[in-house]
Structure 1
């Protein structure tokens, strides 16, 4: 039986451990939280920070692990380091550095001539003021590296937004660098891909619904993406080129694109599967490809065969209650019984502030649905969302 070390044991990762156990893998969970939800699901659990390179490497060496899997951005550098030290399958550090730092990422894509917004990297508020004069308004400010989840991302409509955007991003900046980008009007997409020996296979593509908020947090991902075959082919070709340019030779990549009036443009890429339910539930529901198992197989040196992929419907919907203190929730259990529900739940507790869309980590809850078509999955998601009632004290 192959041993796979998984970096991260949070609530959203439970299904990864269940799936790998069912496939016959011995799972080793590493998470700094001694009470990590996945700790009890793994065969072995170590309460160690996944960013502790030497600590994780020592565990991998002592347990004779056959492969190491990062399921979020914070673990990708550690996975790369451990794989290099122990001669395991993995990505080179140059690849994960480019995938984590949006400035480096865009520099790589720029050298390849790939379609993307104009951008500038900066460090200070004064530099941002200069850069916005070059980029123009509206524009987008982000940390170049924040760990994902939309942390510190905002849209600037005028010079009056500059100071606020800088201060909003600053707490999430991990390397002292920010990036300002041209704002591209269009519909955002997420694209999941799997690389095997440099051959990139597109597994699932969604389009996003986003409210007109400064922080631009998505409220729904709908599969498959509703674009013409011509546009979808352009997106596929662009994403494959982007994944190869960054250097993701094996395993998952999660890429985001904006489809503008003049064609698709790259937003960003993560050298791991999509977050939340995407990696372990949605990809398989849409395509029939079991991403956790196939990723574990390729990382432990086993053969991987890409099956004939399907293109079923799925929806990843996020609840949007009004802003206030959560006092109660009604009909969640009833909604869970609807046909086509893959999962439904809350990410906030009674007494928490809800309706504050600072980033994707502040969402209140979710429903994941499936259907033979996109439209069928949307119908189920709409019905579930209409059933669930949030009791909120405004604030």
Structure 2
């Protein structure tokens, strides 16, 4: 670590999502921000803790970006490379490895991103994972699924996807070919161009997210949150409420499964975001684990308010080679409050003409942040294309029952209008 104030290179964090920047400021860490290519950051109005903008063409020229970071580190050393953007987790690990900085390592980063490798390692460790089969471009989908012994319905997903991008249920062998073709098209922008897919059994049961922080191999599970019970066909995300009201035995099973998954994948350091389903409402089946703070920082908000632990600040300290300022103990942290995120549904597609209800939501005393990503004039493509989420509503509550009631209110209060005359054109 350098002798001066710790500095981290932060890759592709949206400037409009404030939590990680604010956490860096609280932690006394400077940030060199590598902006997203689709976002212009005003150099005269930098987010908190950002001391420098460093544009890099990461998607098109990762080797060139690595060389720029190497030269930048030689001229003005920094202490770590970090990202909350899942496609860049392997790049961040590679940069850290190249420069001798803290990190999880390239192999671990890739195994935590590629669902094919992840499924194989979790299954080899004896953990609960959906039965699945790899599907490469040359494979015949129906024959491959039949040879694997999978029965319908099944779920087709890109091996390197994120945010439910392209995840689609197929209900029959006759429908499978069209679903596979559509998933490949939608996921063409992923790291492998959508070539690698997995087909897995459909799990009937509610979905949960688990936020964890790992130091020296000890996994502190910060929170377990309810993510709804999506049935498909496209599994749009909708809610996140924590702590989830679970029977003690089920909660203990979830914690054991998540801790064992860290060991199976070799994740011994940093933040993680794990998603799972409770098959039959009781048995945890892991869907994926991201070696990052989830939801572009939403997971920090949820875990922080549930536990009182400054999740992002502690994660940034670890990325800079500093020890956490709190004691991390193996197991589940005590919940002291509840927190929630309501993801405003698109509710249609076409050109947005109005977003109703958000001004009233902003005035609610329980709401800390309304982050609006889509506005009038934006065009929303129909699923399975993923345009983005219209807005996040992040709120604090005394308990999850109150959060559930609040989300029921938001379902009635917030809606999006579209221009009917352009809906068909927007879908093409």
Partners of 1:312 and 1:119 in 2: CA distance: 38
Partners of 2:117 and 2:403 in 1: CA distance: 37
SS at structure 1 position matched to 2:140:
helix
Q: Deviations over 1:96-123 (max 9, x none)?
A: 1101111011111121111111111121
Change (3 A) 1:107 1:115: same
Corresponding residue of 2:180:
166
Corresponding residue of 1:47:
55
Corresponding residue of 1:285:
305
Change (3 A) 1:310 1:211: closer
Matched-pair contact (CA < 8 Å) for 1:154–1:215: yes
SS at structure 1 position matched to 2:182:
helix
Q: Deviations over 1:359-387 (max 9, x none)?
A: 66532222111112111223333334433
What displacement does 1:11 show? Answer: 4.2
Which of 323, 326, 333 is 2:348 aligned to? 323
What displacement does 1:320 show? Answer: 2.4
Quick check: 1:260 aligned with 2:279?
yes
Change (3 A) 1:37 1:230: farther
Q: Deviations over 1:285-328 (max 9, x none)?
A: 11112122101111212121237743421221112253143111
Change (3 A) 1:33 1:63: farther
Alignment of 1:221-240 (within 5 A): 221-240=240-259
What displacement does 1:77 show? Answer: 1.4
Moved more, 373-382 or 19-28: 373-382
Structure 2 residue runs of 5 or longer lacking an equivalent are 424-428
Corresponding residue of 1:392:
418
Partners of 2:207 and 2:385 in 1: CA distance: 16
Corresponding residue of 2:25:
21
What displacement does 1:195 show? Answer: 0.5
Which of 91, 95, 102 is 2:108 aligned to? 95
Partners of 1:356 and 1:210 in 2: CA distance: 21
Matched-pair contact (CA < 8 Å) for 1:3–1:67: yes
Quick check: 1:31 aligned with 2:35?
yes
Change (3 A) 1:380 1:220: same
What displacement does 1:126 show? Answer: 4.1
Alignment of 1:310-349 (within 5 A): 310-324=335-349, 325-349=351-375
SS at structure 1 position matched to 2:289:
strand
Partners of 2:205 and 2:243 in 1: CA distance: 17
Q: Please report the TM-score for the alignment, with normalisation by the length of structure 2.
A: 0.86
Matched-pair contact (CA < 8 Å) for 2:207–2:230: no
Quick check: 1:362 aligned with 2:388?
yes
Quick check: 1:352 aligned with 2:369?
no
Partners of 1:114 and 1:361 in 2: CA distance: 34
Change (3 A) 1:153 1:111: same
What displacement does 1:63 show? Answer: 2.7
What displacement does 1:141 show? Answer: 0.8
Quick check: 1:202 aligned with 2:227?
no
Which of 316, 322, 327 is 1:302 aligned to? 322
Change (3 A) 1:200 1:36: farther
What displacement does 1:93 show? Answer: 1.1
Corresponding residue of 1:216:
235
Partners of 1:38 and 1:218 in 2: CA distance: 31
Quick check: 1:10 aligned with 2:31?
no
- Matched length: 394
Change (3 A) 1:382 1:34: closer
RMSD of aligned Cα (Å): 2.2
Change (3 A) 1:11 1:29: closer
Q: Please report the TM-score for the alignment, with normalisation by the length of structure 1.
A: 0.92
